[in-house]
A = this chain, B = another copy of it.
Protein backbone atom coordinates (compact mmCIF):
# COMPACT_ATOMS: atom_id res chain seq x y z
CA UNK A 1 0.00 0.00 0.00
CA UNK A 2 1.21 3.50 -0.80
CA UNK A 3 1.97 6.48 1.40
CA UNK A 4 1.52 9.80 -0.39
CA UNK A 5 3.83 12.45 1.03
CA UNK A 6 4.57 16.11 0.43
CA UNK A 7 8.29 16.81 0.44
CA UNK A 8 10.36 19.99 0.25
CA UNK A 9 11.58 20.31 -3.36
CA UNK A 10 13.33 23.68 -3.06
CA UNK A 11 13.56 26.45 -0.48
CA UNK A 12 10.92 29.13 -1.05
CA UNK A 13 11.86 32.77 -1.69
CA UNK A 14 8.92 34.65 -0.21
CA UNK A 15 5.66 32.69 -0.40
CA UNK A 16 5.44 28.96 -0.98
CA UNK A 17 4.97 28.40 -4.73
CA UNK A 18 4.13 25.45 -6.96
CA UNK A 19 7.78 24.44 -7.12
CA UNK A 20 8.44 24.58 -3.36
CA UNK A 21 7.01 21.13 -2.68
CA UNK A 22 6.26 17.97 -4.61
CA UNK A 23 3.94 15.04 -4.00
CA UNK A 24 5.82 11.74 -3.87
CA UNK A 25 4.67 8.20 -3.21
CA UNK A 26 6.55 6.01 -0.75
CA UNK A 27 5.67 2.53 0.48
CA UNK A 28 3.42 2.45 3.54
CA UNK A 29 5.67 1.96 6.59
CA UNK A 30 5.73 -1.43 8.35
CA UNK A 31 4.86 -1.55 12.02
CA UNK A 32 7.83 -2.95 13.98
CA UNK A 33 8.02 -4.24 17.53
CA UNK A 34 7.04 -1.48 20.01
CA UNK A 35 5.61 0.70 17.22
CA UNK A 36 2.16 1.74 16.05
CA UNK A 37 0.92 2.56 12.55
CA UNK A 38 -1.18 5.68 12.25
CA UNK A 39 -3.51 6.66 9.43
CA UNK A 40 -3.35 10.44 9.25
CA UNK A 41 -6.79 12.10 9.27
CA UNK A 42 -6.11 15.82 9.56
CA UNK A 43 -3.18 18.25 9.50
CA UNK A 44 -2.80 21.41 11.53
CA UNK A 45 -1.58 24.24 9.30
CA UNK A 46 0.55 26.64 11.34
CA UNK A 47 2.61 29.71 10.34
CA UNK A 48 5.71 28.27 12.01
CA UNK A 49 5.90 25.60 9.29
CA UNK A 50 6.94 28.33 6.88
CA UNK A 51 9.94 29.22 9.11
CA UNK A 52 11.19 25.63 9.02
CA UNK A 53 11.41 25.80 5.21
CA UNK A 54 14.17 28.43 5.40
CA UNK A 55 17.78 27.36 5.82
CA UNK A 56 18.10 29.50 8.95
CA UNK A 57 18.67 28.74 12.63
CA UNK A 58 15.46 28.37 14.61
CA UNK A 59 14.07 26.45 17.53
CA UNK A 60 14.01 23.30 15.36
CA UNK A 61 16.41 22.43 12.53
CA UNK A 62 15.36 23.44 9.00
CA UNK A 63 13.47 20.88 6.94
CA UNK A 64 15.98 19.36 4.50
CA UNK A 65 15.37 19.22 0.74
CA UNK A 66 13.63 15.92 -0.02
CA UNK A 67 12.25 15.55 3.51
CA UNK A 68 8.53 15.28 4.29
CA UNK A 69 7.21 18.67 5.42
CA UNK A 70 7.20 18.77 9.22
CA UNK A 71 3.91 19.59 10.89
CA UNK A 72 1.47 18.38 13.50
CA UNK A 73 -1.63 16.36 12.79
CA UNK A 74 -4.05 13.80 14.11
CA UNK A 75 -4.87 10.27 13.06
CA UNK A 76 -6.09 6.90 14.13
CA UNK A 77 -4.05 3.89 15.18
CA UNK A 78 -4.74 1.06 12.73
CA UNK A 79 -2.12 -1.40 14.03
CA UNK A 80 -0.20 -1.45 17.27
CA UNK A 81 2.72 -3.51 18.48
CA UNK A 82 3.20 -1.13 21.41
CA UNK A 83 1.74 -1.32 24.92
CA UNK A 84 1.00 2.39 24.88
CA UNK A 85 -1.18 2.69 21.75
CA UNK A 86 -4.33 0.67 21.07
CA UNK A 87 -6.02 0.03 17.77
CA UNK A 88 -8.70 2.69 17.23
CA UNK A 89 -6.98 5.30 19.43
CA UNK A 90 -7.06 8.84 18.12
CA UNK A 91 -3.64 10.39 18.48
CA UNK A 92 -2.07 13.80 17.99
CA UNK A 93 1.56 14.67 17.24
CA UNK A 94 4.12 15.42 14.55
CA UNK A 95 2.64 13.42 11.70
CA UNK A 96 4.22 15.41 8.90
CA UNK A 97 2.44 16.01 5.61
CA UNK A 98 1.70 12.41 4.63
CA UNK A 99 -0.98 9.72 4.74
CA UNK A 100 0.69 7.25 7.08
CA UNK A 101 3.16 7.59 9.91
CA UNK A 102 4.73 5.32 12.52
CA UNK A 103 4.69 6.08 16.21
CA UNK A 104 8.16 5.09 17.44
CA UNK A 105 10.19 5.75 20.56
CA UNK A 106 11.58 8.80 18.83
CA UNK A 107 8.28 10.02 17.45
CA UNK A 108 5.65 10.05 20.18
CA UNK A 109 1.99 10.88 19.95
CA UNK A 110 -0.52 11.81 22.62
CA UNK A 111 -3.80 9.94 22.78
CA UNK A 112 -6.92 12.10 22.44
CA UNK A 113 -9.43 11.08 25.13
CA UNK A 114 -12.69 9.71 23.75
CA UNK A 115 -16.11 10.98 24.74
CA UNK A 116 -15.26 14.70 24.65
CA UNK A 117 -18.36 15.40 22.56
CA UNK A 118 -16.29 17.55 20.20
CA UNK A 119 -15.41 16.87 16.57
CA UNK A 120 -11.83 16.34 15.43
CA UNK A 121 -11.46 19.82 13.88
CA UNK A 122 -12.55 21.50 17.12
CA UNK A 123 -10.20 19.35 19.14
CA UNK A 124 -7.30 20.16 16.82
CA UNK A 125 -8.08 23.86 17.03
CA UNK A 126 -9.03 24.64 20.60
CA UNK A 127 -7.50 21.69 22.44
CA UNK A 128 -4.56 21.45 20.05
CA UNK A 129 -1.36 23.45 19.95
CA UNK A 130 -3.23 26.55 18.77
CA UNK A 131 -5.49 26.85 21.79
CA UNK A 132 -2.79 25.74 24.23
CA UNK A 133 -0.45 28.40 22.84
CA UNK A 134 -3.07 31.08 23.42
CA UNK A 135 -3.69 29.78 26.94
CA UNK A 136 -0.10 29.77 28.23
CA UNK A 137 0.83 32.94 26.36
CA UNK A 138 -2.02 34.88 27.92
CA UNK A 139 -2.09 33.40 31.42
CA UNK A 140 1.54 32.51 32.13
CA UNK A 141 3.80 34.69 30.00
CA UNK A 142 1.42 37.67 29.87
CA UNK A 143 0.00 37.12 33.37
CA UNK A 144 -3.28 38.79 32.35
CA UNK A 145 -5.08 40.51 35.21
CA UNK A 146 -8.50 42.00 35.77
CA UNK A 147 -8.65 45.56 34.45
CA UNK A 148 -5.77 45.14 32.00
CA UNK A 149 -6.00 46.83 28.62
CA UNK A 150 -5.05 43.96 26.31
CA UNK A 151 -4.25 44.18 22.59
CA UNK A 152 -4.11 41.04 20.43
CA UNK A 153 -2.85 41.03 16.85
CA UNK A 154 -3.93 38.37 14.39
CA UNK A 155 -7.18 38.66 16.34
CA UNK A 156 -9.30 36.82 13.76
CA UNK A 157 -6.74 34.04 13.60
CA UNK A 158 -6.82 30.76 15.43
CA UNK A 159 -4.47 31.68 18.26
CA UNK A 160 -5.41 35.35 18.53
CA UNK A 161 -9.14 34.75 18.76
CA UNK A 162 -8.67 32.27 21.62
CA UNK A 163 -6.10 34.50 23.39
CA UNK A 164 -8.50 37.45 23.37
CA UNK A 165 -11.41 35.40 24.68
CA UNK A 166 -9.27 34.08 27.55
CA UNK A 167 -8.36 37.67 28.45
CA UNK A 168 -12.07 38.61 28.43
CA UNK A 169 -12.89 35.83 30.90
CA UNK A 170 -10.17 37.24 33.19
CA UNK A 171 -11.80 40.67 33.24
CA UNK A 172 -9.60 42.53 30.77
CA UNK A 173 -10.66 45.07 28.14
CA UNK A 174 -9.58 43.52 24.84
CA UNK A 175 -8.78 45.29 21.57
CA UNK A 176 -8.07 43.21 18.50
CA UNK A 177 -6.00 44.05 15.42
CA UNK A 178 -6.95 42.28 12.17
CA UNK A 179 -6.76 42.74 8.41
CA UNK A 180 -9.89 44.10 6.73
CA UNK A 181 -13.30 45.30 7.83
CA UNK A 182 -14.93 41.89 7.57
CA UNK A 183 -12.46 40.29 9.96
CA UNK A 184 -12.79 43.20 12.38
CA UNK A 185 -16.56 42.66 12.53
CA UNK A 186 -15.98 38.97 13.15
CA UNK A 187 -13.55 39.69 15.99
CA UNK A 188 -16.10 41.84 17.80
CA UNK A 189 -19.30 39.95 16.98
CA UNK A 190 -18.19 36.35 16.97
CA UNK A 191 -15.32 36.45 19.47
CA UNK A 192 -16.64 39.21 21.73
CA UNK A 193 -13.63 41.55 21.72
CA UNK A 194 -14.48 45.10 22.88
CA UNK A 195 -13.07 46.65 19.73
CA UNK A 196 -11.03 45.74 16.65
CA UNK A 197 -8.69 47.90 14.55
CA UNK A 198 -8.03 47.25 10.86
CA UNK A 199 -4.26 47.42 10.31
CA UNK A 200 -4.75 47.91 6.58
CA UNK A 201 -6.12 51.38 7.24
CA UNK A 202 -3.80 54.33 7.92
CA UNK A 203 -2.59 55.74 11.23
CA UNK A 204 -2.65 52.59 13.33
CA UNK A 205 -0.56 54.24 16.07
CA UNK A 206 -3.02 57.12 16.40
CA UNK A 207 -6.01 54.77 16.44
CA UNK A 208 -4.32 52.59 19.07
CA UNK A 209 -3.80 55.67 21.22
CA UNK A 210 -7.46 56.60 20.89
CA UNK A 211 -8.57 53.08 21.75
CA UNK A 212 -6.14 52.85 24.69
CA UNK A 213 -5.83 56.37 26.12
CA UNK A 214 -4.10 55.04 29.27
CA UNK A 215 -1.75 52.86 27.22
CA UNK A 216 -1.55 49.13 26.59
CA UNK A 217 -0.87 46.87 29.59
CA UNK A 218 -0.51 43.60 27.71
CA UNK A 219 0.15 42.91 24.05
CA UNK A 220 -0.17 39.41 22.60
CA UNK A 221 1.81 39.56 19.37
CA UNK A 222 1.25 37.14 16.52
CA UNK A 223 2.54 39.32 13.70
CA UNK A 224 5.72 41.28 14.56
CA UNK A 225 6.93 44.02 12.21
CA UNK A 226 5.24 47.41 11.93
CA UNK A 227 2.29 46.49 14.15
CA UNK A 228 4.65 45.55 16.98
CA UNK A 229 6.33 48.93 16.54
CA UNK A 230 2.99 50.76 16.71
CA UNK A 231 2.11 48.97 19.95
CA UNK A 232 5.52 49.71 21.50
CA UNK A 233 4.80 53.40 20.91
CA UNK A 234 1.61 53.06 22.99
CA UNK A 235 2.67 51.13 26.10
CA UNK A 236 1.43 51.72 29.62
CA UNK A 237 3.93 51.65 32.47
CA UNK A 238 5.13 48.11 33.31
CA UNK A 239 3.56 46.70 30.15
CA UNK A 240 4.11 43.08 29.13
CA UNK A 241 4.60 42.13 25.48
CA UNK A 242 4.14 38.43 24.72
CA UNK A 243 5.88 37.42 21.50
CA UNK A 244 4.02 34.42 20.14
CA UNK A 245 4.78 34.77 16.45
CA UNK A 246 5.85 37.21 13.75
CA UNK A 247 3.85 36.10 10.74
CA UNK A 248 4.35 39.43 8.93
CA UNK A 249 8.06 38.60 8.62
CA UNK A 250 8.09 34.89 7.71
CA UNK A 251 7.57 35.39 3.97
CA UNK A 252 9.90 38.38 3.68
CA UNK A 253 12.85 37.53 1.47
CA UNK A 254 14.70 40.86 1.71
CA UNK A 255 15.62 42.74 4.89
CA UNK A 256 13.04 42.37 7.64
CA UNK A 257 11.35 45.24 9.44
CA UNK A 258 13.63 46.53 12.20
CA UNK A 259 11.82 47.41 15.43
CA UNK A 260 12.42 51.09 16.12
CA UNK A 261 10.72 51.56 19.46
CA UNK A 262 12.62 49.14 21.70
CA UNK A 263 13.72 52.08 23.86
CA UNK A 264 10.07 52.44 24.91
CA UNK A 265 10.77 49.29 26.94
CA UNK A 266 13.07 51.47 29.07
CA UNK A 267 10.89 54.57 29.42
CA UNK A 268 7.79 52.45 30.13
CA UNK A 269 9.71 49.88 32.26
CA UNK A 270 8.23 47.17 30.09
CA UNK A 271 9.03 43.52 29.44
CA UNK A 272 9.00 41.75 26.07
CA UNK A 273 9.18 37.97 26.22
CA UNK A 274 9.07 35.21 23.66
CA UNK A 275 7.80 31.71 24.32
CA UNK A 276 7.20 28.38 22.62
CA UNK A 277 4.34 26.14 23.58
CA UNK A 278 6.64 23.11 23.36
CA UNK A 279 8.18 24.20 26.67
CA UNK A 280 4.81 23.72 28.38
CA UNK A 281 4.33 20.13 27.29
CA UNK A 282 4.06 18.81 30.85
CA UNK A 283 1.17 21.19 31.53
CA UNK A 284 -0.85 20.58 28.34
CA UNK A 285 -3.56 18.74 30.26
CA UNK A 286 -4.14 21.77 32.50
CA UNK A 287 -4.68 24.01 29.46
CA UNK A 288 -6.85 21.45 27.69
CA UNK A 289 -9.06 21.09 30.74
CA UNK A 290 -9.56 24.85 31.03
CA UNK A 291 -10.19 25.23 27.30
CA UNK A 292 -12.63 22.30 27.08
CA UNK A 293 -14.60 23.79 29.96
CA UNK A 294 -14.79 27.13 28.16
CA UNK A 295 -15.96 25.52 24.90
CA UNK A 296 -18.59 23.32 26.53
CA UNK A 297 -19.95 26.26 28.56
CA UNK A 298 -20.20 28.44 25.45
CA UNK A 299 -17.53 30.90 26.61
CA UNK A 300 -15.12 30.13 23.80
CA UNK A 301 -16.17 30.64 20.20
CA UNK A 302 -14.12 29.05 17.49
CA UNK A 303 -14.09 28.42 13.78
CA UNK A 304 -12.27 25.98 11.56
CA UNK A 305 -11.36 26.37 7.91
CA UNK A 306 -10.95 22.85 6.52
CA UNK A 307 -9.21 22.38 3.18
CA UNK A 308 -9.83 18.90 1.76
CA UNK A 309 -6.97 16.88 0.27
CA UNK A 310 -3.34 16.34 1.32
CA UNK A 311 -2.14 17.81 -1.98
CA UNK A 312 -3.68 21.19 -1.04
CA UNK A 313 -1.63 21.58 2.15
CA UNK A 314 0.83 24.06 0.53
CA UNK A 315 -2.06 26.28 -0.62
CA UNK A 316 -3.58 26.04 2.85
CA UNK A 317 -0.30 27.28 4.33
CA UNK A 318 -0.36 30.28 1.99
CA UNK A 319 -3.87 31.17 3.19
CA UNK A 320 -2.37 32.06 6.58
CA UNK A 321 -0.25 34.75 4.96
CA UNK A 322 -2.80 36.11 2.49
CA UNK A 323 -5.43 36.31 5.23
CA UNK A 324 -7.74 34.15 3.12
CA UNK A 325 -8.60 31.83 6.01
CA UNK A 326 -11.17 32.25 8.76
CA UNK A 327 -10.22 30.72 12.08
CA UNK A 328 -8.03 27.65 12.33
CA UNK A 329 -6.77 26.23 9.04
CA UNK A 330 -6.77 22.44 8.79
CA UNK A 331 -6.25 19.97 5.96
CA UNK A 332 -8.48 16.88 5.85
CA UNK A 333 -6.27 14.03 4.64
CA UNK A 334 -8.90 11.34 5.16
CA UNK A 335 -12.45 12.58 5.63
CA UNK A 336 -13.79 9.13 6.45
CA UNK A 337 -12.05 9.17 9.84
CA UNK A 338 -14.28 10.77 12.48
CA UNK A 339 -13.65 11.22 16.17
CA UNK A 340 -16.05 9.01 18.17
Contact = CB atoms under 8 A, between A and B. Distances in A.
Interface residues of A, number: 32
A28 interface: no
Contact of A272 (B246, B249, B272, B276): B272
Interface stretch (A63-71, A252-260, A286-294, A300-308): A252-260
A243 B265 contact: yes
Contacts of A271: 271-274
**Overall SS of chain A's interface:** loop
B263 A246 contact: yes
Contact of A59 (B59, B255, B267, B275): B267
A274 to B, nearest CB: 4
A283 interface: no
A107 B59 CA distance: 51
B274 A249 contact: no
Nearest to A272: B272
Contact of A256 (B260, B272, B279): B260
A266 interface: yes
A59 to B, nearest CB: 4
A249 B249 CA distance: 24
Contacts of A255: 260
Contacts of A207: none
A14 B265 CA distance: 22
A184 interface: no
Given A255-B260, A258-B258, A259-B262, A275 B269 contact: yes
Contacts of A327: none
Contacts of A274: 263-271
17 contacts: A59-B266, A224-B262, A243-B262, A246-B266, A257-B258, A258-B258, A258-B260, A262-B272, A265-B272, A266-B275, A267-B274, A268-B274, A269-B274, A269-B275, A269-B279, A271-B273, A272-B272
